Structure 1
Amino acid sequence: MNFEMTPGWLPFHPNPSPPRFRLPAGSVDAHCHVFGPGNIFPYAATRKYTPCDASRQQLFALRDRLGFERNVIVQATCHGTDNSALMDALRHSEGRARGVASVSRSVSDRELLAMHEAGVRATRFNFVRRLVDFTPKDELMEIAARIAPLGWHVVVYFEAIDLPELWDFFTGLPTVVVVDHMGRPDVGKPADGPEFDLFMRLMREHPNVWSKVSCPERLSVSGPPALAGEQRAYRDVVPFAQRLVSEFPDRVLWGTDWPHPNLKDHMPDDGLLVDFIPHIAPTADAQQQLLVENPMQLYWQA
């Protein structure tokens, strides 16, 4: 089956630069994706976008080029609840990848067990309206209750403006809750302003809530190296991520977000994204927790 990419889609960087920052041994890229290939793992009929293919072979080659030891592969919305591409990647990872699946209420216990055996350790709930259609919260809560006995957690993706209305749902989940990309803060607002303070309060009051301090390229207004100067790339994101790493060092994760779906203005160099890490986690201890200890605890010890 042939698929045509969404017009204007930006393919991933063809030749990322080798990072100057040396990752700690055993580092985990805790947020990345595989797309298709569409002729083997077709994209969902209900998808909001059609990406370029981004295979497991390409992901694992990037892992090795950047210096990571492991990956956490997150089911992409373009594949809906058909986790075949994700499961294939996990089974070919030689134990070096874990997965975050997308499941519906109709998923069987047998299917959940097969996912667990392949390396899935979470399911993802997406609340970004431009990417997915609304799923009733009672259905999501039912799914959360079913995956909890497996030791899985729930990954949530939302935008900062929607946190007040989602607060009760998030705090009622019976699992660890991992927030994608710091809850997508508006980095044009102060990092110590009321909007981000609400997210900090969520984590402070609920020790089961974790956050990925990832995707500066998705959040930044100041822009990438070509626009901002290499040393100051994505500089407006730094204070937000630094706050989280400083206050919650044992509940933060980092990932590339490769192959960077739905970016509109530029495609980041993944090597330069790795070089962003010491700006938000400036000490060796913070880097070790962010890149090794925390993801290993959450995904390989569960």
Structure 2
Amino acid sequence: MEFPVTPGWLPYHPDPARPHFVPPAGAVDAHCHVFGPGAIFPYAPERKYTPCDASREQLFALRDRLGFSRNVIVQATCHGADNRALVDALTHSAGRARGVATVRRDISDADLQSLHAAGVRGVRFNFVKRLVDFTPREELMEIAERIAPLGWHVVVYFEAVDLPELWDFFSALPTIVVVDHMGRPDVSKPVDGPEFALFMEFMRRHPNVWSKVTCPERLTHSGPPALDGERDAYRDVVPFARRVVETFPDRVLWGTDWPHPNLKDHMPDDGLLVDFIPHIATTAELQRKLLVDNPMRLYWPEQYAAAHS
């Protein structure tokens, strides 16, 4: 089956730079995806976009090139609730990947157990209207209550302006809640302004809420790096991500977002994204929490506990 790519789709960077920043041993890329290949794992009929294929082999090669040890692979909306590409990547990772799936309320207990055995440790709820169709909140809450006994968490993807209307629902979720990309703040506004202050207050009031300090390439208003590959690109995002890392150092995660779906203006160099890390986690201790301790506690808790017993 052929899947023509969405017109104007930007393919991932063909030759990422080797980062100057060396991640600590055991570092985890805690937000990335696999797409297809469509000939093996067809894209969902209800998808809002069709990407170029991005295989597990390519993802694992990038992991090694950037100096990381593990991946957390997040189900992409273009695959809907068909998690076969995700599970295939997990089962071929030699235990070095965990997953975040998309499930529907009619999933059986046996299928949830199969996903757990494959390495899934969370489900994603997407509230970005341009990417998915609306799912009733009672259905999402039912799913959350079913995955809670497995020790899974919920990942939520939304945009900052929608946090007030989502606040009560997020507050009622019975699991750890991981927010994608800091809730997509408008970084042209002040870091001390009311919109980002509301997100910080949400994290402050809810100790079960974590945040990914990811995707500066999506949030920036200052544009892509210069052609000479400036290493301090996306500087307008730095104050926001640094604020979250320094305020909640034990509840932050980082990831590449490879292969960067639905970008419109430029495709980031993943090596330069890694070099963004020391600008937002400015000490070795913060870097280790962000890249090693926190993702290991969340996704490989048994291994983390054994290493710290």
TM-score, normalised via structure 2 length: 0.97
User: Matched residues in 1 for 2:134 and 2:161: separation?
Assistant: 16
Equivalent pair of 2:232/2:275 in contact (CA under 8 Å): no
**Aligned equivalent of 2:129:** 129
User: Matched residues in 2 for 1:38 and 1:229: separation?
Assistant: 32
**Aligned equivalent of 1:3:** 3
CA spacing shift, 1:265–1:297, aligned 2, 3 Å: same
User: Matched residues in 1 for 2:155 and 2:132: separation?
Assistant: 15
Answering whether residue 20 of structure 2 is matched by residue 14 of structure 1, we say no
Give the superposed CA RMSD.
1.0
**Aligned equivalent of 1:162:** 162
Instruction: State the secondary structure of the residue aligned to 2:73.
Output: strand
User: Matched residues in 2 for 1:191 and 1:242: separation?
Assistant: 10
User: Matched residues in 2 for 1:62 and 1:84: separation?
Assistant: 21
Q: Show CA shifts across 1:212-265 (max 9, x none).
A: 000000100002212797144101100000100000000000000000000000
User: Matched residues in 2 for 1:229 and 1:166: separation?
Assistant: 38
Answering whether residue 171 of structure 2 is matched by residue 171 of structure 1, we say yes
The residue type equivalent to 1:238 in the other structure is V
The residue type equivalent to 1:13 in the other structure is H
Map 1:67-86; keep pairs closer than 5 Å. Answer: 67-86=67-86
Map 1:36-185; keep pairs closer than 5 Å. Answer: 36-185=36-185
**Aligned equivalent of 1:271:** 271
**Aligned equivalent of 1:298:** 298
Answering whether residue 259 of structure 2 is matched by residue 250 of structure 1, we say no
User: Matched residues in 1 for 2:228 and 2:167: separation?
Assistant: 35
- List alignment gaps of at least 5 residues for structure 2: 303-309
CA spacing shift, 1:127–1:228, aligned 2, 3 Å: farther
Map 1:223-262; keep pairs closer than 5 Å. Answer: 223-226=223-226, 230-262=230-262
Map 1:201-212; keep pairs closer than 5 Å. Answer: 201-212=201-212
Equivalent pair of 1:222/1:228 in contact (CA under 8 Å): no
User: Matched residues in 2 for 1:168 and 1:283: separation?
Assistant: 35
User: Matched residues in 2 for 1:170 and 1:226: separation?
Assistant: 39
Equivalent pair of 2:72/2:98 in contact (CA under 8 Å): yes
User: Matched residues in 2 for 1:228 and 1:18: separation?
Assistant: 14
- List alignment gaps of at least 5 residues for structure 1: none
Answering whether residue 23 of structure 2 is matched by residue 23 of structure 1, we say yes
Q: Show CA shifts across 1:17-41 (max 9, x none).
A: 0000000000000000000000000
User: Matched residues in 1 for 2:66 and 2:224: separation?
Assistant: 19
Equivalent pair of 1:153/1:178 in contact (CA under 8 Å): yes
Range with bigger deviation, 289-298 or 216-225: 216-225
User: Matched residues in 2 for 1:227 and 1:195: separation?
Assistant: 33
Q: Which runs of 4+ in 1 moved over 4 A?
A: none
Equivalent pair of 2:27/2:291 in contact (CA under 8 Å): yes
The residue type equivalent to 1:180 in the other structure is D
The residue type equivalent to 2:66 in the other structure is L
The residue type equivalent to 2:32 in the other structure is C
Range with bigger deviation, 232-241 or 221-230: 221-230
Equivalent pair of 1:228/1:234 in contact (CA under 8 Å): no
**Aligned equivalent of 1:187:** 187
The residue type equivalent to 1:196 in the other structure is F
CA spacing shift, 1:11–1:229, aligned 2, 3 Å: closer
User: Matched residues in 2 for 1:190 and 1:229: separation?
Assistant: 27
- 1:113 is displaced (CA, Å) by 0.2
User: Matched residues in 2 for 1:49 and 1:228: separation?
Assistant: 31
Instruction: State the secondary structure of the residue aligned to 1:230.
Output: coil
Instruction: State the secondary structure of the residue aligned to 1:81.
Output: coil
Instruction: State the secondary structure of the residue aligned to 1:166.
Output: helix
**Aligned equivalent of 2:306:** none
User: Matched residues in 1 for 2:190 and 2:42: separation?
Assistant: 42
User: Matched residues in 1 for 2:212 and 2:148: separation?
Assistant: 21
